[in-house]
Structures are given as structure tokens and as C-alpha cells.
Chain A
Amino acid sequence: MKIFITIFCFLIPGISLSQEKYIEKEGTIVFEASEKTFEPVKAKNTSVTAILNINTGEIASLALVKEFRFRNALMEEHFNENYIESDTHSKAIFRGKIIAFNFFELSEQEKEFKVDGQLKLRGKEKSIESILYISKKDKYISMRGDFVVAPQDFDISIPKIVRNKIAKQVKVFVDFKLQQQ
């Protein structure tokens, strides 16, 4: 009997730990820094990871830089080699918290939540404050939102020759569908 109680005691934390996490492994992030009349500067990553702790509202998301795909191959090459230097800085990580997150308030209707956190890229951190639109349907939590960053936030210098073709503000769009683990 004792052995069953011991096993049960070990299992309980394990069960609750897995139930509190929702994970996305195929999330989408799109960023755009296009200027009117020039070729669109836009890239998409459809393999973004996100983990949400539904008890605390803590959220972490990771995108590998090389998985951002541009329509123009040369643009993709310049982005990786000259701007982000993805051979040395291979990932972008966001760690933050959804403010006043309450799992039990979620429904099929999208609800606005404030999110605060730090985005780390090229060894530099930038505070991000934004709004996430979150809904829940069946076993999925969907969230979408956007925020703005600037290349200089991450010490990225844009050469003069292309400066007027790349917007000073880069708009980032996020679209995740998390599933309980």
C-alpha cells in the first residue's frame, strides 16, 4: 500500500506540470519593413515554438533566424549574413508574461490581454509591451498580435545604399495555436 501512495505522490506533480503547459511548434511570425514603391521587405517563419504556462501566464517563444524565408533569395542572404549574422546569432527569443491571464475566462470569443516581456536577438534585449488577442476552442489556445521594433534596438546598422528601401520601423506579426501537452 505504501508503495502505491509513494508512486501516487510522485505522479501528482508530474501530471499537474504537464497540464499547465500549452505548446505550439508550428507558429507563424511575419515581419515587414517595406517602404512604398520599393520591393517588399517581408519574411515569414512557420516553425516558431511557443510555450505558455496557463497557471502563471508566463510565455516563451523561440524563432530560428534562418527559418525566416523571403521571396527574394538575395534579400534572405543579406538578412542572414549582413544584418542578423545568423551564423553567430541563430535565434530570437521572447520571454514574458501575459498580464492578468486567466485560463478559465478564455472562450471562442477573442479577448485582449496585455503582454510584457523581453525580446533577445543578436545578444541584445529589447522590452516589448503589446496586446495579444487570445481565444480558446476545443483543446487549442489561439493567440495573435503584433508589435514594432527598430533595427537599432539590436545594433543592426543598415548600409546607406539601401537605407531608403528598408523601413525604420519593423512590424512583427505573431500567430500561434497552442495545444495542451
Chain B
Amino acid sequence: MKTKNFILLVLAFITAISIVLLSYMYKEHRTIHTEKVDTNTTAIEFYAAFIKDKVVFNAIHLDKAVELQGLITAIASNHIVLDQKISVTLERDPTALKINKKVTIKGRYVGFDDLLEQLKIDQGTVISSQ
């Protein structure tokens, strides 16, 4: 009886360890649209803060969820541009949106594109649009 209990205990332990290990190894990706936002501002102010001090800006905002309001100045197949300075890659097709309309987006700030001179946001979702 004792041996049987011991074997059961060992099996339960191995199962528990395996579950913990597997859930760590195959954990879910971040879901940006459910995360608490780090900053809620306008696209213009967000870009101005970057120009003011790029190092400090990146230390604060890189990889964080942000919410931005801005005017759509370009629409492509997987992204939109706000006020010509913030490129937002959207999780859903952006073609239903309209140029020159105000929009609020939520997404993750991923860095500055030197070639386009734009800040980039990925995993974007539209919170509200005009």
C-alpha cells in the first residue's frame, strides 16, 4: 500500500512539474489590446516627446502599450499613418478607415524607423474612429 501511495505521489509530482514547465515553454503571446496603457496622448505630442529626448523616450515607452489619437494621413494594406509621423501596423485590415479622419489606436511602441522618419507601433487596434 505504502509503495502504491509513493508511486502515485511521484506521478502526481512529475505531472505537476510537467504542466508548469509546458505552460512556461508554450506560454501565450502578449495581447496588447487587453494590456493597461503606459501613455495616452496625441500622435503629435508622442512624436514631439521622441524628438526632445530619444534615449529617455525609448527607455520609457519601448515595448509598452500606448494609446494615441491622431489624424489618418495614409492607409496601406496592413498599416495606417497618423499625422505623417506614427506608423501603426494593425491587426485587422485598415481599408475600412478613411484618410483625414480622426482615430484613436492602441498598440505597442517598437521603435523609430530612420528611413521613413516615423515612430512605429505594432499589434494596433482601433479604439474609436470618426
Contact = CB atoms under 8 A, between A and B. Distances in A.
Interface of A: 25-26, 46-47, 49-51, 60-62, 64-67, 72-74, 76, 86-87, 90-91, 93
B113 interface: yes
A90 B113 contact: no
12 contacts: A25-B76, A25-B87, A26-B78, A26-B79, A51-B115, A60-B115, A67-B120, A72-B25, A73-B26, A73-B27, A73-B29, A74-B25
Contact of B120 (A50, A51, A64, A72): A64
Contacts of A49: 113, 115-116
Nearest to B30: A73
Contact of B62 (A26, A74, A87): A87
A76 B30 CA distance: 11
B30 A64 contact: no
B114 interface: yes
Nearest to A93: B114
- In this complex, the interface size class of chain B, counting residues with CB under 8 Å from chain A, is 20 to 34
Main secondary structure of the interface of A (DSSP, over half): strand
A66 B24 contact: no
Contacts of B111: 64-66, 90-91
B122 A74 contact: no
Contacts of A62: 113-115
B79 A25 contact: yes
A66 B113 CA distance: 12
B122 A66 contact: yes
Given A60-B115, A65-B111, A91-B113, 10 more contacts: A49-B113, A50-B115, A51-B115, A61-B115, A62-B115, A66-B122, A72-B25, A72-B26, A73-B28, A87-B62
Interface of B: 24-30, 58, 62-63, 76-79, 87, 89, 108, 110-116, 120, 122
Contacts of A61: 115
Nearest to B109: A66
Contacts of B58: 87, 90
Given A25-B79, A47-B122, A87 B63 contact: yes
Nearest to A88: B58
Contacts of A87: 58, 62-63
Contacts of A25: 76, 79, 87, 116
Nearest to A89: B111
B110 A66 contact: yes
A141 B105 CA distance: 31
Contacts of A86: 63
A87 B113 CA distance: 15
Given A25-B116, A47-B122, A74-B26, A66 B63 contact: yes
A179 B78 CA distance: 15
Nearest to A95: B115
